[in-house]
């Protein structure tokens, strides 16, 4: 349940706490459910590809709402977000926001981690589950993330794995830039 009159989440649906009580002498825990090192790549493919039915619409929704969240966090207007649709001359879909951008540490420890989110502290943000940033993998084997933070432009290539190899994120370049902070996602 969320208290929509407040900006603070009263309860996160993904963080439901349980108090389990049992009775009987022979009851014991056998295991916890988990993803093993051997099944991790297969599960990440399912989470980044197989969950979407209307894949092109999902891509638009996920990256535009991420841009909206970034602009909200920065106190900027959503009308500043730049969305570039594919054309015959340029087949890339792009979303550019002018929020805070992501540092290399945030790319590695938030953006690239399934289930990680910085948006759970407030109802002001749409994303909270931590899988939407990887949605591009449902239609493309790679996509580019360009981040502008504190006068530095960094370009990352995100590469889809397979059922035996994990997805990867590579830093392609980093240079001084006078462009405004933010993120641009480019999906071929």
Report pLDDT digits (tens) over 43-62: 777 776 667 788 899 899 99
Model confidence pLDDT, tens digit, residues 140-171:
999 999 999 999 999 999 999 888 888 899 99
| Predicted TM-score of the model (pTM) | 0.78
Location of structure tokens 């990887």 = 134
Three-state SS for 118?
coil
3-state secondary structure 31-50: CCCCCCCCCHHHHHHHHHHH
* DSSP string covering 86-101: --SS---EEEE--S--
Q: What is the pLDDT of residue 157?
A: 95
Percent of the chain with pLDDT over 70: 74
Render 146-187 in DSSP notation, one character per residue. EEEETTEEEEEEEE---SSS--EEEEEEEEE--SPSEEEEEE
C-alpha distances in Å from residue 87, one per residue of 71, 94, 187, 188: 26, 11, 13, 11
- Going from the C-alpha of 88 to that of each of 85, 93, 96, 113, 148, the distances in angstroms are 10, 12, 20, 34, 28
Q: Residue 174 pairs with which residues in a beta bridge?
A: 154
């Amino acid at each position: 349940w969320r208290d929509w009159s407040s900006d603070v989440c009263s309860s996160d649906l993904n963080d439901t706490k349980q108090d389990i009580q049992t009775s009987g002498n022979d009851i014991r825990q056998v295991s916890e459910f988990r993803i093993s090192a051997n099944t991790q790549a297969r599960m990440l493919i399912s989470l980044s590809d197989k969950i979407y039915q209307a894949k092109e619409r999902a891509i638009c929704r996920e990256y535009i709402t991420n841009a909206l969240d970034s602009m909200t966090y920065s106190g900027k207007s959503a009308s500043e977000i730049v969305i570039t649709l594919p054309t015959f001359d340029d087949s890339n879909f792009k979303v550019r926001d002018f929020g805070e951008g992501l540092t290399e540490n945030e790319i590695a420890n938030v953006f690239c981690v399934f289930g990680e989110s910085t948006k759970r502290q407030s109802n002001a943000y749409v994303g909270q589950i931590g899988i939407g940033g990887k949605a591009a993998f449902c239609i493309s084997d790679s996509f580019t993330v360009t981040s502008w933070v504190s006068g530095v432009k960094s370009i990352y290539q995100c590469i889809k794995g397979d059922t035996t190899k994990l997805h990867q994120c590579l830093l392609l370049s980093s240079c001084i830039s006078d462009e405004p902070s933010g993120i641009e996602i480019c999906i071929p």
